[in-house]
Amino acid sequence: MHVSEIEVSLDTRSYPIVIGQGLLKDQALFERLIRGKKVVIVTNETVAPLYLAELESTLSNFDLLSFQLPDGEQYKSLEYFEKLNSFLLENNCGRDITLVALGGGVVGDLVGFVAACYQRGVDFVQVPTTLLAQVDSSVGGKTAVNHPLGKNMIGAFKQPQAVVIDTQTLSTLPAREFAAGMAEVLKYGIVFDRSFWQSLIDDKSLITALDEKSLVTVIKRCCQIKAEIVAADETEKGARALLNLGHTFGHAIEAEQGYGVWLHGEAVAAGMVIAAKVAELRGYLSEDDYQEIVNTIASYDLPTKKPESMQTADFVKHMKRDKKVQNSVMRFIIPTEIGHCEIMDDLTAQELELVLK
């Protein structure tokens, strides 16, 4: 089995991202990565029947418990944050526990936040099973739950002990979820790397056919980019904000439509098109690049338009609370060419009205 390893360099909190096919079965790997004796696997009702027994068998030398969440973005909530904490207390889990997040970004974000808070912080390991979680959410330590008034509004920066990516798990992922993960993959191309972007166009049929070599190449490149950005700016004081391309609009769509109605990746896809339109209207982005962004996003079966029902005021209401707001000024990430983005803080109400038409 070929296994790749990428390090997220954060001094004493550095950790590996291990990528390979069949890693859920790698007993020696997990025994190397987990410090204590007691492990709680947290997963959800969809992932459990697919992968829980396999991981439990791999971790059979640990004192093991498991906890299942219902499936859905709406359960990335304070209510389920409390339920998981209660489960840990009821089972007398101490500070030496390791939480293992087995699932997509919803499980990973919630478990990470519990790991940040339970008894003021315990170890956790990310075992992402969606494309989105493998390329983005499992890396970098942004953990959170949603609030009815905004996405990821209550959370913490808490880095995992390790990220273990078993690419085999993608074989059971529904097509709509795969496409949602591709939105974040395309984001890396638009923000940081034009030649990576080009490869996503050239290799589209291999990628969507889940060709193992192509998938590993894509996952590795995304993890490398994210690891570099996080190492340079862990808590988003500067460059890390670029990873938010499309999210200011996307988070507004998710919250306004009701969590889970639009998938995170779908909302980000539409948000990236809106951000690209802002840039094109300003003359910062060429018409050709704008059109290439729209066409490529559409080619991966992702939306390129906002929900019809949403008006400018519905966006503004949410965007005013965006975490990038500084001194009451909204800030947006916009592409100036494919492979390069900048932060913009002078979008006018008229421009906003125009792009959201």
Ligand X SMILES: NC(=O)c1ccc[n+]([C@@H]2O[C@H](COP(=O)([O-])OP(=O)(O)OC[C@H]3O[C@@H](n4cnc5c(N)ncnc54)[C@H](O)[C@@H]3O)[C@@H](O)[C@H]2O)c1
Catalytic-labelled residue, pool 25, 194, 240, 340: 240
**Alpha carbons within 13 A on the beta-carbon side of 120:** 0
Catalytic-labelled residue, pool 187, 264, 277, 306: 264
Q: Does 184 bind ligand LNCXM5UN (CB under 6 A)?
A: yes
Q: Does 271 bind ligand X (CB under 6 A)?
A: no
The size of the chain, in residues, is 357
Classify residue 24 by burial, with Cβ atoms within 10 Å: 0-12, 13-18, 19+: buried
Nearest distance from C-beta of residue 52 to ligand X, angstroms: 12
Among the residue ranges 82-90, 135-143, 190-198, 306-314, the one whose residues contact ligand X (CB under 6 A): 135-143
Q: Which listed residue (16, 20, 103, 250) binds ligand X by CB under 6 A? A: 103
Q: Which of 331, 323, 232, 341 is nearest to 285 (CA)?
A: 341
SS3 category, 15: strand
DSSP assignment letter at 50: I
Q: Which listed residue (172, 291, 311, 326) binds ligand X by CB under 6 A? A: 172
Catalytic-labelled residue, pool 44, 146, 152, 244: 244
Q: Which two tokens stand for residue 341?
A: 């983005």
Residue 318 annotated as binding site: no
Restricting to residues 313-342, name those near ligand LNCXM5UN by CB under 6 A: 323
Which residue is nearest to ligand LNCXM5UN, using beta carbons? 152
Euclidean distance between CA atoms 210 and 162, whole angstroms: 25
Are 246 and 279 in contact by the 8 Å Cβ rule? The answer is no
- Cα separation values, 184 from 189, 204, 279, 294, Å: 9, 15, 19, 14
Pairing of strands 38-44, 63-69: parallel
Q: Does 136 bind ligand LNCXM5UN (CB under 6 A)?
A: yes
Residue 158 annotated as binding site: no
Q: Does 140 bind ligand LNCXM5UN (CB under 6 A)?
A: yes
Would you say 20 or 105 has its CB closer to ligand X? 105
Q: At what angle do helices 287-299 and 264-282 cross, to 10 degrees?
A: 170
Tracing tokens 């290439």 back to the chain, one arrives at 292
Restricting to residues 234-253, name those near ligand LNCXM5UN by CB under 6 A: 236, 240, 243-244, 247
Tracing tokens 């078993």 back to the chain, one arrives at 166
Is residue 142 part of the annotated active site? The answer reads yes
Q: Which listed residue (21, 23, 24, 46) binds ligand X by CB under 6 A? A: 46
Rounded to the nearest angstrom, the gap between the alpha carbon of residue 327 and the centroid of all alpha carbons in its chain is 27
Is residue 244 part of the annotated active site? The answer reads yes
Would you say 49 or 121 has its CB closer to ligand X? 49
Residue 238 annotated as binding site: no
Q: Which listed residue (15, 84, 118, 142) binds ligand LNCXM5UN by CB under 6 A? A: 142
**Alpha carbons within 13 A on the beta-carbon side of 82:** 3
Residue 76 annotated as binding site: yes
Q: Which listed residue (137, 159, 199, 296) binds ligand X by CB under 6 A? A: 137
Catalytic-labelled residue, pool 158, 187, 221, 247: 247
Is residue 236 part of the annotated active site? The answer reads yes
Q: Does 179 bind ligand LNCXM5UN (CB under 6 A)?
A: no
Catalytic-labelled residue, pool 120, 237, 287, 357: 120
Euclidean distance between CA atoms 263 and 160, whole angstroms: 24
Nearest distance from C-beta of residue 244 to ligand X, angstroms: 10
Classify residue 198 by burial, with Cβ atoms within 10 Å: 0-12, 13-18, 19+: middle
Euclidean distance between CA atoms 210 and 208, whole angstroms: 5
Q: Which listed residue (66, 77, 98, 129) binds ligand X by CB under 6 A? A: 129
Is residue 240 part of the annotated active site? The answer reads yes
Q: Which of 54, 122, 59 is nearest to 88 (CA)?
A: 122
| Active site members | 120, 142, 184, 226, 236, 240, 244, 247, 251, 264
For the annotated binding site for Zn(2+), the residues are 184, 247, 264
For the annotated binding site for NAD(+), the residues are 71-76, 105-109, 129-130, 142, 151, 169-172
